[in-house]
Amino acid sequence: MAGDRVYARNSERSCLRPFRVKLSEQAPAFRYSTRFSAHDFATRLATAASDLCTGSASRQAGALSSASLCFLAFADHREAEPWPKSPEAAAISCQDENCSRSAEAGAFPRPSSYSCLNHFIIALNVAVQQVAARTDAGVMDLRSSVLRQFRDAMPEKFCAVVAVLLLLPACSAPSSPDRVNELAGPSVELASQVENEPAPAEDISLAAPAGSGFDASVICETGRDRVLEALSSCPEPGAAGASDPITDTFSFSDVRHKAGLLAEQAYRAAPELAKDAAALDYDQYRRIEFKSTSTIWPGDDTGFRVLLDPRGYLFTHNVGINLIAAGKVARRPYAASDLEFWDLPLADEVKKSLGYAGFRVLNPLNQPGKYDELVSFKGASFFRALGAGTVYGASARGLSIGTASTGGEEFPYFTEFWLAEPRPGDAQITLYALLDGESVTGAFEFTITPGPETLVDVSATFFPRRELSAVGISPLTSMYFFSPHDLKKQADDYRPAVHDSEGLAIWMQNGEWVWRPLINPESLQVSVLASSVPRGFGLIQRKRDLSSYSDVEANYHSRPNVWVEPTTDWGAGQLSLVEIPTANEYNDNVVVFWKPAAPWQPGRAYDFSYRMHWSLFPPPAAAVLPIAETRVGKTPDKKRQLFVIDYEAKQEALLKNAEASISTSAGKILHPTLTHHPETGNTRLTFELSTENDEVAELRALLTRGGKPVTETWLYRWRPE
């Protein structure tokens, strides 16, 4: 769930479990709408005290935080002022120079009536948080320099004393059954106030749970001595009666929260990679090997293994790797000893500080007991996956920004990953990623299911830092050099075709199936192919025989199809195809993505979900015949363009009495002919295009019978040479 919550992390030594208070993903202003009396204040603090020694680890963990939140709410009620836009704002609102702390000029408003009481309460809240931070540093979200000044200025022992003694005065207040019964409901109601699109908030409850070890009313009646007795009775971990391990696990909401907080901060560029490492060429970089003895999850129990890839060559950004096991998150630190550098010209200092650029997940994808690569995450927000029998080809990205725009393209990158260890027998692996860039942050959840058709289910949330008008959702990237409809480029190569993908397939919202052969243009081309969210789209490699490519090393016939199915409403927008000129097969020059119609605004969250299919197989079977090949040439007199379209029709009866519907945006269509080839079983459509003034022509062809389509719709953009 999104929003604000108090939750716990395990500690090995204390019943005062680590915790953190999570602000909303969109940092809303908070309004404490429940009115507190002195008695309310006392009973809630007493409840927090009882939670310190209940059998629930999460209750023990959240108790101190509950107490500090209670102080905040009570102070807010006393002051009768709107709560500032963040705790940091409250911290700097104090007008007394002795307790004022420096902050970024103009960062927050300074209400005139906020007193040092508020400032002191914020300090106490931070003091409580410091106790937790000492036991599990690394889960804190205290990013503000103001809060860190408070926390770092207070000795740990002092903070511990303050955290406990804050609870004691409340226990002298009398209690009534009526007031105790009211604790069954939420004690503090948080109202999130966010402009445009408020984020849902989780309840923060300060009430004692049913079945807790101590009754709040009893504690309040007996006072200080009973509280001290209760605190001293906390069992040690591992002893009888000790609290159970935390059941909450790291989830997408945690990453979403981090991304929301990160978007509120200015972007910080990553440190530069050492020159020697950046100077490595492709072959040198590939020589660095992750040692098999350092493999993550090396056994066969999980069915998945992970290899980490170092920085170097083009991969300059350092990424954090975290492992999730049994509900606990552990950082996987970089270690040069995990890598074999052989005789590469890298100094020891460079090797020790290299860091990781990404990782690969392995799985017995093709045969039992043999672990092959399943998915790779490395470089910006790029990732690519494999189905059984495929080799790497097309890639995907988490997000594209400014692709083919005059302002240039921005490449946000994954900065941190969390990999959940699969349980024995699990058929899938789940991982999370944090995205960061100059203009946007993002959170991702990937659930990967290997097989002949490997599925990658993606959930993503984006938080813009500025207005963005040229973003691409689920961008796919591939290489297209030439094929039989590129006569000039084919002339100097022994191979009949060179590409990772040969066409873009689209399943339109209205049920129409579209096939757009890719081209390698003379200049940059951008095409808009759909104005409503398609049911699916993808970059496809249709020809699966080696003879179609005659390349025994590149194995283009084994490059995977990548098909995307939106699983939520992506809103208004358009499907865009970008084709970039390339002089060789080493550059990815094709990009397809969904471009939202409305610009993204800072301070808002944008959610998307989709499923990706990576395999040798075509998209879900259509009720129409697919296009097998497109060929382009000249008529014998060299005056007109000749187009040849072959359909995969094995039965002539399927196209009996079919009619060709052909249109062009420029010029004229001449001599359309439809024939069936008895030897191949394919049906061929041919026609000529006559143009004047060298105009660009948008072509469209479709075979129909009785007014209904029997083939895919063929789209093609012809440019004069």
Q: Tell me which of 43-52, 247-256, 689-698, 701-710 is least confident.
A: 43-52
More confident residue, 115 or 313: 313
Residue 369, domain member (yes or no): yes
Q: At 71, give phi and psi (nearest 5°).
A: -60, -45
Q: Are residues 172 and 287 in the same domain?
A: no
Q: Are residues 272 and 225 in the same domain?
A: no
Residue 656 confidence class, pLDDT cut points 50, 70, 90: confident
Residue 515 confidence class, pLDDT cut points 50, 70, 90: very high
The whole-number average pLDDT for the span 354-376 is 97
Say what the pLDDT of residue 428 is. Answer: 97
Q: Are residues 243 and 259 in the same domain?
A: no
Residue 395, domain member (yes or no): yes
Query: Each residue of 133-174: pLDDT tens digit?
Result: 433 333 333 333 334 444 444 454 455 555 555 545 434 444
Q: Are residues 340 and 291 in the same domain?
A: yes
Q: Which of 530, 520, 501, 516 is nearest to 714 (CA)?
A: 516
Residue where a domain stops, chosen among 212, 227, 248: 248
Q: If you ran DSSP here, which 8-state letter would residue 589 be given?
A: -
Residue 215, domain member (yes or no): yes
What is the C-alpha separation between 388 and 10, in angstroms, rounded?
Answer: 40
Say what the pLDDT of residue 170 is. Answer: 39
Rg of the chain, C-alpha, whole Å: 31
Q: If you ran DSSP here, which 8-state letter would residue 497 be given?
A: -
Element (H, E) at 457: strand 453-464
Q: Are residues 678 and 665 in the same domain?
A: yes
Buried-state track 426-451, b at ≥16 Cβ within 10 A, e below 16: eebbbbbbbbbbebbbbbbbbebebe
What is the C-alpha separation between 688 and 672, in angstroms, rounded?
Answer: 7
More confident residue, 265 or 119: 265
Q: Which of 168, 183, 172 is nearest to 227 (CA)?
A: 168
Query: Is the confidence at residue 45, as pLDDT, over 90?
Result: no
Residue 406, domain member (yes or no): yes
Query: Contact, 614 vs 390, CB < 8 A?
Result: yes
The whole-number average pLDDT for the span 184-209 is 32
Q: What share of the chain is helix, strand, coil (3-state, %, to 5)?
A: 20, 30, 45
Measure the N-to-C terminal CA separation of the chain; round to a whole number of Å: 56
Q: Are residues 395 and 412 in the same domain?
A: yes
Q: If you ran DSSP here, which 8-state letter would residue 256 be given?
A: H
Query: Is the confidence at residue 7, as pLDDT, over 90?
Result: no
Q: Which of helix, strand or coil describes residue 42?
A: helix
Q: Are residues 680 and 576 in the same domain?
A: no
Contacts of 8 (CB under 8 A, 6+ apart): 17, 18, 19, 57, 58, 60, 61, 62, 246, 248
Say what the pLDDT of residue 263 is. Answer: 98
Query: Is the confidence at residue 94, as pLDDT, over 60?
Result: no
Query: Is the confidence at residue 205, as pLDDT, over 50?
Result: no
Residue 40, domain member (yes or no): yes
The whole-number average pLDDT for the span 346-371 is 97
Q: Are residues 240 and 262 in the same domain?
A: no
Q: 600-604 contacts: CB < 8 A, separation 24 or more?
A: 600/440, 600/462, 600/464, 600/467, 600/468, 600/469, 600/471, 601/196, 601/464, 601/467, 602/263, 602/464, 602/465, 602/466, 602/467, 603/26, 603/194, 603/195, 603/196, 604/26, 604/196, 604/197, 604/463, 604/464
Contacts of 211 (CB under 8 A, 6+ apart): none
Q: What is the CATH number of the domain that holds 278?
A: 2.70.98.10
Which two three-digit tokens encode residue 497?
Answer: 């075709």
Q: Which of helix, strand or coil describes residue 430?
A: strand
Query: Each residue of 568-616: pLDDT tens digit?
Result: 999 999 999 999 999 999 999 999 999 999 999 999 999 999 999 999 9
Residue 89, domain member (yes or no): yes
What is the C-alpha separation between 567 and 459, in angstroms, rounded?
Answer: 9
Query: Is the confidence at residue 208, as pLDDT, over 50?
Result: no
Say what the pLDDT of residue 158 is. Answer: 53
Q: Tell me which of 11-25, 171-185, 514-528, 695-709 is least confident.
A: 11-25
Give this prediction's pTM: 0.68
Residue 665, domain member (yes or no): yes
The residue with tokens 């995990």 is: 338
Q: At 79, give phi and psi (nearest 5°).
A: -75, -25
Q: Which of 702, 265, 298 is nearest to 508 (CA)?
A: 702
The whole-number average pLDDT for the span 273-288 is 96
Q: Are residues 173 and 280 in the same domain?
A: no
Query: Is the confidence at residue 469, as pLDDT, over 80?
Result: yes
Q: Are residues 191 and 298 in the same domain?
A: no
Residue 190 Cα distances to 34, 116, 186, 205, 610, angstroms = 9, 23, 10, 10, 32
Say what the pLDDT of residue 520 is. Answer: 95
Query: Contact, 79 vs 113, CB < 8 A?
Result: yes
Q: Tell me which of 6-20, 298-312, 646-660 is least confident.
A: 6-20
Residue 707, domain member (yes or no): yes
* Edge-to-edge order in the sheet of strand 641-647: 627-634, 641-647, 683-690, 668-676
Query: Contact, 6 vs 21, CB < 8 A?
Result: yes
Q: Which of 51, 48, 53, 52 is nearest to 72 (CA)?
A: 48
Residue where a domain stops, chosen among 574, 594, 615: 615
Q: Tell me which of 222-226, 247-251, 332-336 is least confident.
A: 222-226
Q: Are residues 609 and 655 in the same domain?
A: no
Query: Is the confidence at residue 70, as pLDDT, over 50?
Result: no
Give me the number of domains the chain comprises. 3
Mean pLDDT of the chain: 75
Residue where a domain stops, chosen among 187, 216, 248: 248
Range of the domain at 402: 253-615
What is the C-alpha separation between 502 and 525, in angstroms, rounded?
Answer: 16
Q: Are residues 568 and 639 in the same domain?
A: no
Say what the pLDDT of residue 59 is. Answer: 43
